Amino acid sequence: MSQPPKAIVPALKDGEETIIEGQRFWRPVTPPGEVPRDRCIHEAGHTLASWWTGKGIARVQVTAIGEDGLNFTEAAHCYIEGEGKRSVEKFCKRHTRQELNDRVTRELIQIMAGPMAEAKHKGYGFAWQALAMDPGYRQWREGDPPSDLHAWTGMSLLPKPKDRARVANAAVGVCAHMLAFYWPKIEAIADALQSRRSLTGAEVLEVIGEDPRGPLCKMKLAAVELTAQ
């Protein structure tokens, strides 16, 4: 797997573009009242991963340009629990090293599937898709969604550096393969979001139209060789 670039991609406004280390980054212009396609793809990535990892889906929502509201995917349940950093730390410390490794990996896949799907949609290379998974770059920040709190706090509590590297690599690899395999489903969820703006878990399942193949909740990560093309 190629190494993530060292540069950090800046936040771009509609219509802006930049080139970093030979890679073009861009953000399309979306008319007021319409939902940006990249926004729908982003949430569709989170949603597909929530379904595939066995977290389930409660609701997913996107907003149009010029409208107030949040863009989010709400999972039905989490593999790491807690409403604040201290309660998350307490929950994590109750689990063995292997249990925590697996739980953190599942949470990371779900939160990274959004930005990785958006990057794939825009044609960014795999190394750029994986950039935000670098544990030296990404950490939980006040105001981030609960899923980010769970995943990044859990990552910081993994007892050994090699655990953190293993979990990060596993999450990136699994997420990349999942997105490639289910890309038509990502597009279908994004289509539904662009037209309806909000979907319940039942509506998402109707759009997907099948059960997960080899859901991560049934996989033993230690026994699986994870690579990314």
What does residue 42 show for φ and ψ, rounded to 5 degrees? -60, -55
- pLDDT-based confidence at 203, cuts 50/70/90? very high
Task: Output the average pLDDT for the chain.
Answer: 75
pLDDT digits (tens, 9 = 90+) for 92-108: 888 888 888 888 888 88
Judged on CB neighbours under 10 Å (0-12, 13-18, 19+), 168 is buried
Residues of the chain with pLDDT > 90: what percent? 20
- pLDDT-based confidence at 110, cuts 50/70/90? confident
Q: C-alpha distances in angstroms, 17 versus 26, 122, 218, 219?
A: 4, 12, 41, 40
Is the pLDDT at 22 greater than 60? The verdict is: yes
Both structure tokens of 225: 């060789």
Stretch 8-17: mean pLDDT, rounded?
Answer: 65
Q: Which domains does the chain have, with CATH numbers?
A: 17-223 (1.20.58)
Residue-level pLDDT at 182: 92
Is the pLDDT at 142 greater than 80? The verdict is: no
Is the pLDDT at 72 greater than 50? The verdict is: yes
Among 101-115, 165-179, 206-220, the least confident range: 206-220
